[in-house]
Amino acid sequence: MPLLKGAMGARRYRVLLASDPPDRDRYLELLNEHAFREPDSKAKAGENQGWVSLHNLCITEFTHEDSYYNQYLCFALRMDKKAIPARLLKALLDLRVTHWLQEMNRERVPAAVKRELKEQLELELLPRQLPSVGAHDVCWDLANDVVWFFNNGNKANEVFRTLFAQTFNLETQPIAALQLIANHRKKDVWVPRLDSIGHADYRPEP
């Protein structure tokens, strides 16, 4: 929970607002609508994402008291991934194939049968498998139209931006070198110059 404790790793984004002013009640409704939901079936593999409370990744209801802190709207992105360890799946599948070959008195297993054996195995194992769970803090500064996402991974940031756009119907723009330049009062001088420069060679003259 880097927003509250410990060292922080984060990327910041400008929130490109529509003309309407921020509606605090509406934002909470939208968070609730796009909150994290457990998958319908426990035998389902893959990824599952949604918003959760900043304070507990199992809380998926958002209230003013637990979400708004002064000008900040705080919540977290939960990202679950459920998969059977590949080496375990292969080992168990090899045993099933051997058993099938003995039972059927065959030398080779047809691809379709092998696929079926694998699917059966996955259906047996997945309900017993817990997902890997990640939760990454989000802090939206409504006064300055900046949102901080406390994770530096490319994939997590991609998921965050996509879900943020789906939830609030608002685009986010990464704040890095070029965006800082484009919003500076000297942008008329600096931006055209960007097109004519390359990486400078700092090695001393021979």
Partner 1 sequence: MSEEEPGAVMSEEENEAPEAELWDEPAPVEDKSWEQKLEGDEWINESLDLHPTDHPASRFLGKEFLLWLWWRSEKDFGTVELGEMGKVDYWIDDRISFRTPGEDPQTSDLKGGAPATTAEAHMALRAGKVVETASLGFRVREREYMLQFKGEGMELSGVKVPSECDEGVDEQIFERMFLLDEITAILDQLFFRFCEQRLEDGWNTQVLPEIRQWVAGDA
111, 46, 105, 112: which is closest to 79 by C-alpha?
A: 46
Other Cβ atoms closer than 10 A to 11 = 20
Of 74, 77, 79, 117, which lies in the binding site for partner 1, with binding defined by CB under 8 A? Answer: 74
Q: Is position 183 an interface residue for partner 1 (rule: CB under 8 A)?
A: yes
Residue 178 is a binding residue for partner 1 (CB under 8 A) = yes
70 Rama class: left (phi>0) / alpha (psi -120 to 50) / beta: left
Q: Does residue 113 interact with partner 1 by CB under 8 A?
A: no
Size of the site for partner 1 (CB under 8 A): 50
CA distance 138 to 141: 10
Minimum distance from CB of 86 to partner 1 (Å)? 25
The answer to whether 143 contacts partner 1 (rule: CB under 8 A) is no
| Beta bridge pairs of residue 49 | 79
DSSP β-ladder status, 68-69 and 72-82: antiparallel
Instruction: Note whether 12 binds partner 1 by CB under 8 A.
Output: yes
Does 28 sit near partner 1 (CB under 8 A)? no
Examine residue 25 and tell whether it contacts partner 1 (CB under 8 A).
Answer: no
Residue 88 within binding range of partner 1, rule CB under 8 A: no
Is 93 exposed, middle or buried (CB count within 10 Å of its CB: 0-12, 13-18, 19+)?
middle
- E strands, 96-160, in order: 132-141, 146-149
Q: Which is nearer to partner 1, 86 or 202 (CB)?
A: 202
Chain residues binding partner 1 by CB under 8 A are: 3-5, 7-12, 16, 55, 69-70, 72, 74, 139, 141, 148, 152, 173-174, 176-184, 186-205
